[in-house]
Amino acid sequence: MNTVTRFGFAFRVFGGCAFLATLCASTFAAEPTQANPTAAPSALPASTPQKWEFRSIMVQVRDEHEYPVRGAKVDVRGLERDALGAEIDQENEKPDVVKKKFPGWHFVTDSQGKFTARFGNFRQYDYQEATGMEVPAWGSFYFVVEADGLGGVSAEILNPQPDELEQIEARLKVNDNGDVGEASEWTKNPVLLKDGKNSTEFALETGLEVEGRVLDTAGKPVPGLHIEIFHDLHAGSHTGRGGEIFSKSMDTDAKGRFWFEHVYPNTFYFDPTFGEDGRFNWVRTRVRERWANEILDEIRLHESETETHIPMVIVVSTKPIYHYFGKVTDQHGKPVAGAEVDAHYSLHRVSRTFEDGRYHQAAKTGRDGSYDLWLPAQFVEFWDVKAKDCTFDMREADYDELDEPGEYDLTVKRPH
């Protein structure tokens, strides 16, 4: 078995450990000092009238016994466009170039388990245009740590631009549960960077085990199928991608089994395409003791108890099994032959991913205007029809009630 693990941010720890981090923030115009040796020097000459202000945050990483974690590698992960672009820009650069052109994205804790990060009180793009460097600036961020195979996610770090501050502060009001702001998948108490000192602390939790089998519709094991799970910080890109962390993958063994240890104890996701394998379609799922005749690739943890083990079964088919059929007629009820019926389908009952609705499959109508479609997924988001000298008003299903297998008659308009 070959299991690959990549950590993103976190301040929960796997394998029975926990990190405790204390953060303090202040605002300053950054230059290296003895008190702040980690501040990157400004690339602007002293005569430049522009002042670039930074907000700093000191982080101390501790284990479950409150001992500092020395030498832990920590990354800053941004969720908005400029930060996501900086992450991509670093991928093909050499380490020395990354250190010079991308200061402030990667850290190593010192002997006291500490590092100091800073976030610009400006737009990242403006700083890049002026200095040639890409640094964390306005936006939403997380710290991600990896140490001795363990990892965790910090609270959300908010570094808003001035015109967003009032909105952010309203979001951070204490709610009925005594938590600050709206509870999200990752944090109940975001850290707002602003003038003056701010502090927060958070503890990380242990991981859990996820194990299961992949079977075909006859109940036989499916070996050699690529299974990948990951967590998602939910980046603000137009595709929703860019915030994936803690990715783990393996191929099923001869008995169709897969298993992952030290899975971060938060909502996690499966790749429903099996690495775009193309041979199999996911049609049924059992999570814990519950069966569902659909893809369940978003696994939420029980809130009322601490889970240490989640069993699963995934059933796949080698052929599309969902039947859609019907007739295409014109406004007078006459059949339209040779029309192309295109069904845009979703892998999920409620569209959730960028790809949902972008999968599609088409069929031609016969002489009587009838069509037959066998789809690999059972939720159609919208229909399109192309026919000679005809127009069609695209038919969209309700967002929360997509079209399930069955008969769908479609009408096109011919010119008068």
**How far is Cα 35 from Cα 82, in angstroms, rounded to an integer?**
29
Q: Count CB neighbours of 254 within 10 A.
A: 8
Domains of the chain: 4-203 (no CATH), 208-317 (2.60.40.1120), 323-411 (2.60.130.10)
- DSSP-derived letter for residue 40 is P
- Tokens at residue 125, please? 């793009």
pLDDT 10s digits, 319-363: 999 999 999 999 999 999 999 999 999 999 988 888 888 899 999
Average pLDDT for 101-128: 92
Four-point Cα dihedral 162, 164, 165, 166, nearest 10: 120
For residue 5, pLDDT beyond 60: no
pLDDT band at 2 (very low <50, low <70, confident <90, very high): very low
Q: Are 284 and 204 in contact (CB under 8 A)?
A: no
CA nearest to 159, candidates 102, 82, 86, 85: 82
Element (H or E) spanning 400, and its range?
none
For residue 287, pLDDT beyond 90: yes
**How far is Cα 271 from Cα 225, in angstroms, rounded to an integer?**
12
CA angle (227 as vertex; 225, 232 as ends), nearest 5: 160
Average pLDDT for 282-294: 96
Q: Report DSSP letters for 306-353, one per residue.
A: --SEEEEEEEEESS--EEEEEEEE-TTS-B-TTPEEEEEEESSSS--S
pTM above threshold 0.75? yes
**Which pairs with CB-CB distance under 8 Å and at least 24 residues apart come from 125-128?**
125/82, 127/52, 128/82
Q: Count CB neighbours of 94 within 10 A.
A: 8
Q: What is the crossing angle of helices 124-131 and 81-91, to 10°?
A: 50
- Report which residue type is found at 218: A
**How far is Cα 374 from Cα 394, in angstroms, rounded to an integer?**
20
pLDDT 10s digits, 34-89: 344 344 444 444 444 468 999 988 888 887 778 888 888 889 999 999 999 998 89
Average pLDDT for 249-271: 94
**How far is Cα 137 from Cα 31, in angstroms, rounded to an integer?**
16
